[in-house]
Amino acid sequence: MGMFKINLNKKSKANFNNDFEEFYKITQVINSSLDLKTTLKTVSESIANITNASYCYIFLKSGEDEVSCAYRYGKKLIFREQYNISTSYHTKKIFKTGKPIVTSNFENYRHYGEEVIDFFKKENICCTLYLPIIKEKKVLGYMWILRKAECSTDIDIKRIMLFVNQMATAISNSQLHHKIDINRSRWKSIFKDSSSGMIITDPSFKILFINKAFETIIDKKSRLLIGINIEEMFVNEKDRLFLEKGLRQNKKTKVFNKELLLEAKNSVIWTSMRVSKSINSADEERYIFSFEDITSKQEFEKDKNEFVSIISHELRNPLTSIKGYLNLIEKKEIGSMNKKQQAFFKKIEDSAERMTELVENLLDVNKINTGKMRLNLSPVSIGKIFKKVSSDLSRALSQKNLKIQLDKDERVYVYGDDIRLYQVFYNLLDNAIKYSFPDGKIKVGYKNEDEHALFYIKDNGVGISPLEQKKLFTKFSRIENIFSVSSGGTGLGLYIVKNLVLAHNGAIWIESKHGKGATFNVKLPLAKQLSLVK
């Protein structure tokens, strides 16, 4: 490129100091600014200064076959903002060769339109320079310099190309930066415009960012919330505890889901919350919370619960009547039934009993779902409760010729609700009977251990697979029973049992091996004061 030395005014005197100053300025800008506009402006101004140019344009590749004017030094001209590379003579040439082009004697150039040539004449433009902007052998675009005839500085293309090459680096850097910036703003807009309410906090749960959707959900402006601790918006104490215990101290889990109440402007809102831990590009720990307003879903749940409650209560009266009259029919004073009537009577009685069980189970589940399960706690003897359970189930036991093998400690007193604990042990023994092979043994044991009472009941059935164990305590789960086509249960029993045990601050778990039966273990808090034992 050194050969392009043009002495246009025959007054050759290189202004080394000026060059050096401009070069220094450019380097400074390039090092300190990633903004393309600033870089182009500084470089154009510098080059215009040292070349004494009247106009300076920078065209950058903006498409497969397109260059666009990225910066203009000097007043706006009639020239186009964009050119096709393949159809514009000089543009095509510069992209093809990557070498500078000097043009003069415009009358002879058919490549410029009349308007351009008129302009050159009017402005007294004597020559133009096309300087390729090249980075890593790729032409990014070019600089077009227009000089007036009267300007007296010599230009040395090799010298100018030093500036242009600096610019190439800056352009490629800032284009890269621009790409990153676009990506970042894309992510930012995902956060900003997401239909989920989103919050980002620091590790102490101090709110750093809030998006529009979250403002809408709780009807509060973000300026009121930024800087506060997110837990201040949580209505319930246990949700606040979750942040510390469930979230911060939990190193294993990455994503958390929870339904909770948030305090909104004039109300409380049910939300489904999702939290994930994240490390940002500056290596800082962040929590990303997203919230969905599920108030309407919760209201539907509430309606559903009320519906179940009303229906169940309404069923209780006719059931009382059915069971009551069945009870009367059995009395000898009413008269006697023949064998067939007695058999049919038994079927009605069984059905009424099953229906009662279903209604009572639904009411219990309803109570669990609505948080209305209340316990009347007092010190109670497990032995006494279990004795009643086994005597009430003695008929079922003898029907399958099952024996209970008891491993007991008489003095096991727990702090519990005797009626509910009866229900727990009744369900467990009833299940053990249903799933045991006939003529076998059911092992039952209870003892004190530290602060707890341990109770177990082991059947001699086929066992419960790990998959079934997972489903066992959920609503409407039933395990295939090899002894009867229909187990006749509601699938609610163990769900209720689990929740009753939990309501007692206890725990329940299963141990089972295929073919070796299943053991249900229950842990309950011991009674401390025994003076009130029931």
Partner 1 sequence: MKKILLIEDDKNLIEMYETAFELEGFEVEKALNGDEGLKVLAKKEKPDIILLDILMPGMNGFSFLKEVKKKKTLKSIPVLLLTNLGESTIDMNRELAFVLGIEGYLIKAKNNPDQVIARIKNILKNK
Distance of closest approach, residue 335 Cβ to partner 1, in angstroms: 12
Stretch that binds partner 1, among 3-11, 249-257, 260-268, 311-319 (CB under 8 A): 311-319
The residue behind tokens 């029973």 is 481
Please tell me whether residue 360 binds partner 1 under the rule CB under 8 A: yes
Three-state DSSP at 461 gives coil
**Burial (0-12, 13-18, 19+ Cβ within 10 Å), 299:** exposed
Stretch that binds partner 1, among 50-58, 366-374, 389-397, 423-431 (CB under 8 A): 366-374
Nearer to partner 1, 276 or 394 (CB): 394
Among 249, 317, 486, 531, contact with partner 1 (rule: CB under 8 A): 317
Please tell me whether residue 398 binds partner 1 under the rule CB under 8 A: no
> Distance (Å, rounded) from C-alpha 459 to C-alpha 443?
7
Distance of closest approach, residue 357 Cβ to partner 1, in angstroms: 10
Distance of closest approach, residue 356 Cβ to partner 1, in angstroms: 6
Among 97, 189, 236, 321, contact with partner 1 (rule: CB under 8 A): 321
Distance of closest approach, residue 309 Cβ to partner 1, in angstroms: 7
Count of CB atoms within 10 A of residue 132's CB?
A: 22
Please tell me whether residue 316 binds partner 1 under the rule CB under 8 A: yes
Among 194, 309, 378, 448, contact with partner 1 (rule: CB under 8 A): 309
Among 333, 450, 451, 480, contact with partner 1 (rule: CB under 8 A): 333
Please tell me whether residue 254 binds partner 1 under the rule CB under 8 A: no
Q: What are phi and psi of 298, to 5 degrees?
A: -65, -40
Stretch that binds partner 1, among 17-25, 373-381, 432-440, 450-458 (CB under 8 A): 373-381
Please tell me whether residue 363 binds partner 1 under the rule CB under 8 A: yes
Among 313, 387, 411, 516, contact with partner 1 (rule: CB under 8 A): 313
Burial 52-62 (b: 16+ CB within 10 A, else e): bbbbbbbbbbe
Count of CB atoms within 10 A of residue 465's CB?
A: 12
> Distance (Å, rounded) from C-alpha 502 to C-alpha 375?
11
Nearer to partner 1, 192 or 316 (CB): 316
> Distance (Å, rounded) from C-alpha 146 to C-alpha 140?
20
390 conformational bin, left if phi > 0, alpha if psi -120 to 50, beta if neither: alpha
Among 180, 224, 311, 328, contact with partner 1 (rule: CB under 8 A): 328
3-state helix vs strand vs coil in the chain, percent to 5: 45, 25, 30
> Distance (Å, rounded) from C-alpha 101 to C-alpha 127?
10
Nearer to partner 1, 312 or 436 (CB): 312
Interface with partner 1 (CB under 8 A), residue total 25
Please tell me whether residue 336 binds partner 1 under the rule CB under 8 A: no
Among 351, 376, 398, 405, contact with partner 1 (rule: CB under 8 A): 376
Q: What are phi and psi of 505, to 5 degrees?
A: 60, 35
51's CB contacts (< 8 A; 6+ apart) are: 129, 145, 147, 153, 155, 160
Please tell me whether residue 534 binds partner 1 under the rule CB under 8 A: no
DSSP class of 468: H
Among 113, 203, 324, 438, contact with partner 1 (rule: CB under 8 A): 324
Please tell me whether residue 359 binds partner 1 under the rule CB under 8 A: yes
> Distance (Å, rounded) from C-alpha 531 to C-alpha 524?
19
The residue behind tokens 């399960």 is 373
Please tell me whether residue 462 binds partner 1 under the rule CB under 8 A: no
> Distance (Å, rounded) from C-alpha 531 to C-alpha 534?
9
Please tell me whether residue 93 binds partner 1 under the rule CB under 8 A: no
CB hemisphere CA count around 484 (13 angstroms): 13
| Site of interaction with partner 1 (CB under 8 A) | 309, 313, 316-321, 323-328, 331, 333, 356, 359-360, 363, 367, 372-374, 376
